[in-house]
Each structure stands twice: as structure tokens, then as C-alpha cells.
């Protein structure tokens, strides 16, 4: 697949090539701190550069601190009407797996091939923003190689090197900054700021082919013309700590990848994301869900077009509560964040039913409600579920993180809900064990309990191996490589190692000032 990502020890996400008219796309996802990714990183990683040890407070702080809770400053428009579709889901051409990667923030990543000849990019997948952009003719971008990347080496896009690249004119409906167009070049500029450490991306819009493939039946490779950002200047987290090789927006606006695929009749105006227990997952473009899924309407606000749903109640253990609030479903957020009174209602109810002794609050932790585990090690947790508008129950299978000592013995756990100000976010941890369908045609969110691994394991994750080339002719079928396959799901519990506490009655965590500041930013930021 070209030289873009010459070795992908940490992640290979499905690059789905589109076939014919209106099929669906998909890809697999891995979490950056998953055991699978950690194994690859240790095999090829750079000495002295290692992800936080699973189980430590630094591990959880890093996950929370790297969330890209963004706010696009460019105006957005509602998603276009769906084009008629037929067939099944589509995927990126190298398989349909996505992965969370430890070195680049708590986001799902995929490998995407662009241009002729094709160049590959390791891009973050973000339901909270719209524009797809990659580093391009860079003035200020993340380095293409770095000791902190381990054995990864990235590539850069250049319109002049692709025979199928075209500039997007100022007159295009996708050009939000028409008044700032360059009269000399007639190229449409873009500028997006994300609410994460003054993070932004700036450049011009271009159009080129993206390689996609059908999943059902005989695989077919299709080249889909996609508008994306030629990112010439990046700032903040994009300079290394998150999405250094690009970001693929999955939001509601007309310039997002799902919208573009639907408007061209390539895929239905819907996609799904499956969230496994260990950071492994899948994304299927054109997936409209199934008849047995549960659903709730999406709240569509013209000035704030996120995947927003209404919650009418919740249950903790044997107690049910009526409430009314809206929440943004955001795969780019590590842990669920709630504002009051919802935060206090849910956490207080959980605390009243928890059997274990609560630890004193620790300001260095992103979680307020943490508990000791007795020497017997048995924990009986109250179940948590949300009731969505219309009455459908949204189950929460993994509301806690488990703390273990150096011998992997559980010694404590925390309710993984953070307190926010003025915004409610259903994060990735509340979606664990579910396939979530973002149906933008019917304007509903769907979900069902799902095993992300109970599918054809067609995608592979190479270690110390170059990705194979994406074929440029549909008749050639998907690329063939023989890398190490991803591991299956782990038990539905997150374990984290921490130093043995000095006292059996409490658990002590220690965080660096940088990570503590990152947590504070996450908790206080608003979309």
C-alpha cells in the first residue's frame, strides 16, 4: 500500500474500497493501550518510549487526557439525504479492523489509501468532527518519523504527485471559507480548531480517490472520489501526541466522509462502529443496522450537528430514576462525562449500593468514586443502564476500571464517569460490547449487544512488515498480506496495574503535573 505507513506495529485499520453502487464499508479498531497493541509496541518499540503500564493511574490519566473533544469553528450543514443503496457494508481496502493506539491518543485509527499512485495514512476516526484531512505539502506538521513512533514511518500527501488529484474551487458548496479564497490559485482554504490544547489544522481542500472494498460476496475494489483537507499547518496535539498522520471526520456535516459517500451513491447514509473489550473494533460504512437493534431518535441542531440523543431515565442496581437530559455520543471520548444533576444522581446511587469501602477523593484522578477490593477479591457491582427517548434501554456493560497490584491481583476499582461542566458525553467505555449504528438517513441511533470478533477475520495487523499495495483495478480484489492477526476479545473488565498501596485501607495514586493538567482540561472543556 505504498510507503505511507511502512511498518504498522501498533495498528492497521481497515481501508475499505467501495464497489459499484451503494455497498457498505467497514474496518476494525484497536485501542492504543490494548494488550494486542502493547505486544506489537514492545516487539518493535523504541527503548525508553513505552505506553503507561496497564493498571496504573498514569494509564487512565493518559486515556482521559488525550480525548479530542473538539469544536469546529467552521459552519456546518445537515447531512445530505441518502442515496439509494443496495448490498452490504463496505470497508477500507486493507481490512475492516480499527484500533486504538497507545502513542497517539485514545482514538480509533485506520489505514486509508489516497491518490494515484496511492499513498497510505494512519488516520484517527472521529465522530465529533467533520473534515477528513492528512498532512500535505507541509509547512508545519508532525514529523514523518520519530523515536516516539517506534517502528512507524508516515508519509505525506502532495497533490502534485497524484495524477487523480484536483483542487476544490472556491465556488464549491463544500468551501466554507469562500471569502478567504486565494484569487491567484482559486483554491478553497479550510481552518478548523479543536478544543484540545489549542489544536488546529489549516490548509486547502483537494479531491482525490480513496480505495474501498465490499465485504460481502466477491470483494471488489472501487476508487471513490473524496474531498479532504490538504493539511499544511497543524498545531497542538496534531504535532505528535494525537492524529499525527491525519484525522477522518465522521460527523453530520456534508463534508464528512459518510456524507460524501452517501451523496455519491457509494454507500447508504449510515455507518456503524463496534466497540470490543480490548480496544479492538470495526467500522462499517453503509451499515443501516438490523431489525433486532434498539433505537432512539437523534436530536438534530442546525448550529450544533452532533450525534445527540435524549435520555429520559436510568437504572442503577435495583433503583430506577426519571430524568431528562441530552448527551452527545462520541467515540473520541475515552470515558463518559456527565454534568450535574445527572452526574451526582448516578454516582450517588452507585455509591449507595456499592459494597466496598470508598477511598477518599484524589484530585489527581479523573474519577471521584473509587473503592477498595477485599482480600477475597469478589466484587458485586450494581448494574447501570440508560433509558433513551422512546423507551429503549442502553446497557452499560463496562462502567468501571479495575485496579490491580504488581502481581495482577485486583485491589480496587473506580466508577469510570467524570464530572463535566455543561455538556454530557457518552464515551467509548459506555459503548463497550455494543455495535452502535449512526443512521443519518432515518436520524436514529441504533445499538445492539455484539461480539466484534464474531466476523470474518479478513484484516491483518503486520509487525515489522510493509503493508501490501492497494490494487488500482477493481478486478484485482483486495490486497493480500500475511501479517499477525489481531487477538480476540478479553474478559469484559479493564485491569490496570498500580504500585501496591502502603495501607490496606486505601489505594494511592500518583500522577505527573502534565497528566493532571490534561485531565483538568478534559473535565472543564465544553464543545
Active-site amino acid positions: 126, 330
Helix (H, G, I), strand (E, B) or coil at 513: helix
Cis peptide before 341 (omega within 30 of 0): yes
- Among 114, 156, 124, 104, residue whose Cα is nearest residue 1: 114
d(C-alpha 456, C-alpha 454), whole Å: 7
Cis peptide before 67 (omega within 30 of 0): no
Cβ proximity of 113 and 211 under 8 Å: yes
The radius of gyration of the chain from alpha carbons, rounded to an integer in Å, stands at: 22
Q: Would you list the DSSP string of 261-329?
A: HHHTTSS-SEEEEEE-TTSEEEEEET----TT-EEEEPB--TTS-S-EEEEEEEEETTEEEEEEEEEEE
d(C-alpha 518, C-alpha 103), whole Å: 15
Q: Which residues lie closer than 8 Å to 411 by C-beta, 6 or more apart?
A: 372, 373, 403, 404, 405, 498, 500, 501, 507
- Among 110, 120, 145, residue whose Cα is nearest residue 4: 120
d(C-alpha 11, C-alpha 26), whole Å: 15
Amino acid at each position: 500500500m505504498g510507503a505511507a505507513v511502512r511498518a504498522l506495529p501498533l495498528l492497521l485499520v481497515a481501508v475499505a474500497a467501495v464497489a459499484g453502487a451503494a455497498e457498505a464499508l467497514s474496518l476494525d479498531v484497536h485501542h492504543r493501550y490494548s494488550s494486542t497493541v502493547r505486544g506489537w509496541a514492545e516487539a518493535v518499540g523504541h527503548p525508553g518510549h513505552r505506553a503507561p503500564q496497564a493498571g496504573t493511574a498514569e494509564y487512565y490519566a493518559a486515556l482521559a487526557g488525550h480525548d479530542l473533544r473538539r469544536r469546529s469553528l467552521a459552519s456546518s450543514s445537515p447531512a445530505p439525504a441518502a442515496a439509494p443503496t443496495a448490498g452490504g457494508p463496505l470497508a477500507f481496502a486493507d481490512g475492516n479492523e480499527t484500533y486504538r493506539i497507545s502513542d497517539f491518543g485514545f482514538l480509533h485509527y485506520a489505514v486509508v489509501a489516497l491518490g494515484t499512485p496511492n499513498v497510505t495514512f494512519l488516520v484517527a476516526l472521529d465522530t465529533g468532527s467533520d473534515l477528513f484531512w492528512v498532512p500535505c505539502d507541509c509547512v508545519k506538521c508532525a514529523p514523518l518519523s520519530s523515536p516516539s513512533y517506534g517502528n512507524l514511518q508516515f508519509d505525506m500527501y502532495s497533490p502534485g504527485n497524484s495524477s487523480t488529484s484536483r483542487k476544490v474551487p472556491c465556488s464549491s458548496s463544500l468551501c466554507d471559507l469562500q471569502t478567504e479564497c486565494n484569487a491567484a490559485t482559486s483554491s478553497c482554504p479550510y481552518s478548523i480548531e479543536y478544543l484540545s490544547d489549542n489544536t488546529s489544522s489549516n490548509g486547502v481542500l483537494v479531491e482525490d480517490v480513496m480505495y474501498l472494498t465490499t465485504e460481502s460476496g466477491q470483494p471488489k475494489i472501487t476508487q471513490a472520489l473524496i474531498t479532504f483537507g490538504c493539511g499544511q499547518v497543524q498545531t497542538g496535539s496534531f504535532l505528535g501526541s494525537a492524529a499525527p498522520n491525519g484525522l477522518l471526520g465522521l460527523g453530520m456535516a456534508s463534508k464528512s466522509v459518510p456524507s460524501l459517500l452517501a451523496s455519491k451513491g457509494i454507500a447508504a447514509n449510515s455507518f456503524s462502529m463496534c466497540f470490543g473489550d480490548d480496544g479492538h473494533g470495526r467500522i462499517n460504512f453503509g451499515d443501516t443496522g438490523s431489525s433486532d437493534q434498539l433505537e432512539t431518535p437523534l436530536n438534530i441542531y442546525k448550529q450544533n450537528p452532533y450525534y445527540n440523543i435524549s435520555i429520559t431515565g436510568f437504572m442503577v442496581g435495583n433503583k430506577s430514576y426519571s430524568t431528562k437530559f441530552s448527551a452527545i455520543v462520541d467515540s473520541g471520548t475515552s470515558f463518559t462525562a456527565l454534568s450535574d444533576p445527572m452526574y451526582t444522581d448516578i454516582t450517588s446511587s452507585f455509591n449507595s449500593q456499592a459494597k466496598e469501602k470508598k477511598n477518599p477523593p484524589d484530585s489527581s484522578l479523573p474519577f471521584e468514586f473509587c473503592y477498595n477490593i477485599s482480600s477475597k477479591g469478589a466484587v458485586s457491582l450494581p448494574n447501570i443502564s440508560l433509558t433513551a427517548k422512546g423507551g429503549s434501554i442502553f446497557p452499560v456493560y463496562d462502567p468501571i476500571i479495575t485496579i490491580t497490584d504488581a502481581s495482577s491481583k485486583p485491589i480496587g476499582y473506580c466508577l469510570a464517569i467524570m464530572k463535566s461542566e455543561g455538556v454530557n458525553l457518552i464515551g467509548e467505555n459506555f459503548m463497550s460490547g455494543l455495535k452502535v449504528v449512526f443512521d443519518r438517513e432515518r436520524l436514529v441511533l441504533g445499538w445492539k449487544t455484539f461480539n466484534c470478533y464474531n466476523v470474518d477475520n479478513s484484516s491483518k495487523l503486520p509487525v515489522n512488515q510493509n503493508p501490501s499495495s492497494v490494487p488500482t483495478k477493481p478486478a484485482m480484489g483486495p490486497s493480500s498480506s500475511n501479517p499477525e492477526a489481531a487477538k480476540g476479545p478479553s474478559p469484559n473488565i479493564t485491569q490496570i496495574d498500580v504500585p501496591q498501596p502502603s495501607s490496606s485501607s486505601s489505594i494511592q495514586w500518583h500522577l505527573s503535573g502534565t497528566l493532571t493538567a490534561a485531565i483538568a482540561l478534559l473535565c472543564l472543556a465544553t464543545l
